[in-house]
Chain A
């Protein structure tokens, strides 16, 4: 890990409690002998947080006991800093959408409807869609975080 010799640990939390656990753990481990330097809560990891520490994380240590912290992911392979880097600069969903992709709207007035991507505006993070079920294909413009990709490639 470059010139800093820390390890990254994946800790398991109760679902939906990731942020609370991270905040409590940060507070509790401060001024203890535990060398936690940072805690990451990537949106894409449900039920897990990543902890950067200069000391080995021992779940029996009372200094890291916080509610909803369920355990440590023991593996034979350490999590590398390269793997962590991809969480530091999460790729926006828009870069994985293509013209012709089939998506589902996850919010807004057309929630639950499926649509085909007809145009992508990367700078505004918007996509223009055509609703599949609509009798008349009216283009609808939505923000990229209002959709979920069903099928990435165009047929």
Chain B
């Protein structure tokens, strides 16, 4: 699994399928957003798409 170096979304791709930025395998922490519209965590991080994210990526 890789994480996008910009939006932090997890994917198996070399470029993020959502924003097109490069991904990295060096990430930690997991965040699962199931309901971005109702989530204070998603709002805090500016996440509007449900999915799996990391908390930190290098």
Size range of the interface on B? 20 to 34
Main secondary structure on chain B at its contact with chain A? mixed
Which B residues are CB-close (under 8 A) to A43?
28-29, 55-56
A39 and B29 contact, CB distance less than 8 A: no
Instruction: Give a binary string over A1-36; 1 marks a CB under 8 Å from any B CB, 0 the rest.
Output: 110101000000000001100110010011000011
Residues in A with CB closer than 8 Å to B52 are: 23
Q: Roughly how many angstroms separate A115 CA and B44 CA in the complex, as a whole number?
A: 38
For chain A, the bracket of interface size reads 20 to 34
- The interface residues of chain A lying within 8 Å CB-to-CB of B29 are 40-43, 87, 90
- A6-B39 in contact given A19-B30, A26-B32, A39-B32 (Cβ < 8 Å): yes
Which of chain B's residues has its CB closest to A44's CB? B29
**Bound-state Cα–Cα, A154 to B12, Å:** 42
